[in-house]
Amino acid sequence: MTLAIDIGGTKIAAATVIDGVCHDRRQLPMPASEPEFLATLAALAQGRPAPALAAVAVTGYTDGERVRGVNRNTIAFWNDYPLVPRLRALLRCPVLALNDAQAAAWGEYGLRQAECSNLLYLTLSTGVGGGLVLDGELRRGAQGLAGHLGHMAVDVAPTDGPMVCGCGRRGCLETVASGTALARQATGRFGRVLGSAELFDRVAQGVPEAQDILWRAARAVASAVASAHAQLDLQQVVLGGSVGLAAGMRALVEAALAELPPLYRLPVDVARLGADAGLVGVAAWAVRQPLQGQA
Ligand SMILES: [Zn+2]
């Protein structure tokens, strides 16, 4: 059996995955320091049957041993951090690591293989991540960076004006459409700290300032999707993450794509695996990988 772990910017989830189904799923907040991080992982692994393999989906990009954050603000110690050796020592089993959105892309592709072989998974969460399956194969890239659509520059600015992203570049999708970006814009508009969930409540109530923030996010997503489609010739977009899965977000992205020329109007779906897409996807990917050199 496989122990699947999904390490995001604000939370860590773990589950024992058997035949593509999560069992004993547990979730804890992502701590700010490395010692607390390792203690949290130990707590999530405790009390389970000894895994044959640990499959880890991580925010940032990984060469399979070490991990780095694209947005340097997401996790402070995610700077060439030797994640896989640390986990191998902690869990005492082979460990394989993959970017979290790439993992989710593979999980969602597994449910759609009969329909498409070129899929973009886009997670709108703490940050904006992406994963690509092209011609039926997961695209990881030379350093595990492939699919990071959150750091494509878009032609839509957030309500508080264009800004430099945590990656160091100006105008990234992540500065407009991540949960962090939505909360930042909402806080600026409404004069008090407002999370993205509260923003969605205000959108449902028809508050124009809230609708403007979300509509810009949807148009920014559509802009990035269209650019990716022109480059890669995609068949399907799948939205995930807490913002991507929020009620109404898919319809907004479809409406934003409908404003573009017909060539760019890709079908949009939401993650059928929901918040488990990363866990299921990384487990499915890991069992296909060779384990040479692992303990
Ligand atoms: Zn960026």
CATH number for the domain that contains residue 141:
3.30.420.40
- The verdict on 124 and 225 lying in the same domain is yes
- How far is ligand 1, taken at its centre, from the CA of residue 153, in Å? 8
The percent of residues above 70 in pLDDT, for the chain, comes to 99
Q: Distance from the CA of 91 to the center of ligand 1, in angstroms?
A: 33
Boundaries of domain holding 133: 116-271
182 and 221, same domain (yes or no): yes
Report the number of distinct structural domains present in the chain.
Answer: 2
Residue 293 confidence class, pLDDT cut points 50, 70, 90:
low
90 alpha carbon – ligand 1 mean position (Å)? 32
Ligand 1 centre from 70 Cα, in Å?
7
Contact criterion met (CB below 8 Å) for 106 and 240: no
**80: in domain:** yes
Whether residues 249 and 155 share a domain: the answer is yes
Q: Per the domain annotation, does 205 fall within a domain?
A: yes
Between these two residues, 283 and 247, which has the higher pLDDT value?
A: 283
Question: Is residue 291 in a domain?
Answer: no
Q: Kindly provide the ipTM of the predicted complex, given to two decimals.
A: 0.99
Same domain, 128 and 244: yes
Are 123 and 153 part of one and the same domain?
Answer: yes
Tell whether 295 is covered by a domain: no
Asked whether residue 107 is assigned to any structural domain, the reply reads: no
Per residue in 173-207, pLDDT (tens digit) is 999 999 999 999 999 999 988 887 888 899 999 99
* Confidence band, pLDDT 50/70/90 cuts, at residue 294: low
293 in a structural domain: no
93 alpha carbon – ligand 1 mean position (Å): 35
Domain shared by 280 and 264, yes or no: no
- 71 and 21 Cβ atoms separated by less than 8 Å: no
What is the predicted pLDDT for the residue at 196?
A: 78
Q: How far apart are CA 194 and CA 186, in angstroms?
A: 6
Average pLDDT over residues 261-283: 97
Q: Please state the rounded mean pLDDT for residues 50-76.
A: 91
How far are the Cα atoms of 18, 145, 194, 251 from residue 218, in angstroms, in the given order? 36, 23, 19, 9
